[in-house]
Structure 1
Amino acid sequence: MVQFLQKSITFAEFIQWKPANKRYELHDGVIIEQVVSSNWRDDYYKKYGEYEGIGIPEYWIVDYLGLGGRKFIGNPKQPTVSIYVLVEGEYQVSQFRGDDCLQSVAFPNLQLTAEQIFQSVSC
């Protein structure tokens, strides 16, 4: 998952806020989170509300194993990158699979496919 903050927070503030025992990567104010086990409900339900509530303008869910519910990644279930963008206080989601080129407000010049992300995770 990736999150892009319109308002700046310090690393100390982020550490204080983030839940324990979770893997996060912080890149230029964007949080990337991977769905790595049966905790997908936290990533798709709980984080959605938390991040929207604190005004995270963009975050990504990288579900490289296709663990999320069909409601979130489609049927049949397959590896999916979901990019959530805050628009007028509510998230709009775009999903990317296979050779789809990712489109990000936080990284407008990004030239990367979903499959390239999935391959990098499985190596």
Structure 2
Amino acid sequence: MTQAQTQAQTEPKLYTFDEFIEWYPENSHIRYELHDGVIVEMPKPKGKHSKLTGSLVGKLLTTINEIRKTDIWFIPRESIVKPHRDKSGYEPDIIILNEETIGIETRWETESIIQNALTVKLIVEVVSTNWQDDYYDKLRDYEGMGIPEYWIVDYAALGGRDFIGYPKQPTIFVCELIDGEYVKKMFRGNDLIKSPTFPQLNLTAQQIFDSVSA
């Protein structure tokens, strides 16, 4: 076997976004994402990750109701975000969409695909062991799309020291798009979360973290 043949067998097949969507198995109990052309298995959130995500969805929905946006802002059960780069696709832990602009999403009704920042109010990623995806890849791609607000919820303090320091502490980053770039603000403990999308939000970082132990 030649070196080229050996390399071809060991290197993963690279997919475009459309090839990934065509490949995606229907009714799968496993989530998949496309990272730089490579299909990555993303197990369904379990345990603390799932509990925190569900609790945060509830708090955001309550706030949406309080500001009387219930009829136009919604949180879908599933969606796939297509960045500008053709070889990546992500399924956020939480995404808030705008009913008023969902009509520009030509692939929403048939494939639950979001391609336009105008449709998105907020994306939240709850950090897992593959923390680099949330801190590097998704931040870069959501910023490139023009997503106005992106939260990184690192309840287990898994991120690198360059981000959350040492000793590591549970941390939430709220990234606001300003002049085409994300400006990150860090929240810990009893810090009150300051959200451009939800300025009325009366919620501390610790209240979010406490949901996994309640």
**Cα offset for 1:48?**
1.2
Change (3 A) 1:16 1:95: closer
> Which of 175, 193, 203 is 1:112 aligned to?
203
**Larger Rg: 1 or 2?**
2
**1:27 matched residue in structure 2:** 96
| Distance (Å, rounded) in 2 between the aligned partners of 1:73 and 1:58 | 19
CA spacing shift, 1:39–1:122, aligned 2, 3 Å: farther
Q: Percent identity?
A: 52
TM-score, length-scaled by structure 1: 0.80
Counterpart code for 1:44: Y
CA distance in 2, matches of 1:107, 1:35: 21
Note the aligned Cα RMSD (angstroms). 2.2
SS state of the match for residue 95, structure 1? Answer: strand
In the TM superposition, what is the alpha-carbon distance from 1:74 to its structure 2 partner? 1.7
Q: After superposition, what is the alpha-carbon deviation per residue over 1:82-102, rounded to whole angstroms, capped at 9, x for unaligned?
A: 000011011110000001111
User: How many Å separate the matches in 1 of 2:122 and 2:92?
Assistant: 14
- Structure with the bigger percentage of helix: 2
Runs (4+) off by over 2 Å: 14-19, 26-29
Shift of 1:112: 0.4
TM-score (norm 2): 0.47
